[in-house]
Amino acid sequence: MENASLSPAEREALKRDFFLSLHCSLPGNVVSFDAEKQTAEIQPAVKVGSMSYPILADVPVFMPVPFEVHPGDACLVVFSDVDIDRWLETGEAAVPNSARRHSLSDGFAFVGFRTG
């Protein structure tokens, strides 16, 4: 059997790959807003090298007080530890639909930051 231990360089590469796939929060900008559903399409405002993140669809928007959300508004997208689809559908505690963790599909947008 081969030696299962990793070299320091292999451990660092593994950590780098893991952290690149883990999403906790990203700054972004509103592309469009659905006032009825209180969801938005969000374009993350950072790049990985020369690559842009995809537009995030159907992101629930946190709105502590009613105000208008417009394309171009700055926001912070925070990613859930688990798949939020079933919770969004029912509002009830439930087993997640999938094993997704920190996915770009499970973000919440906090709008209202002042930029520029």
Q: Is the pLDDT of residue 54 over 60?
A: yes
Is the pTM here over 0.85, yes or no? no
> pLDDT tens across 13-33, in order?
998 888 877 888 888 999 999
> pLDDT tens across 78-97, in order?
999 889 998 888 888 778 89
Are the C-beta atoms of residues 76 and 48 closer than 8 Å to each other?
no
Which pLDDT score, from 0 to 100, does residue 1 have?
Answer: 47
Structural domains of the chain, with CATH = 23-111 (2.40.50.230)
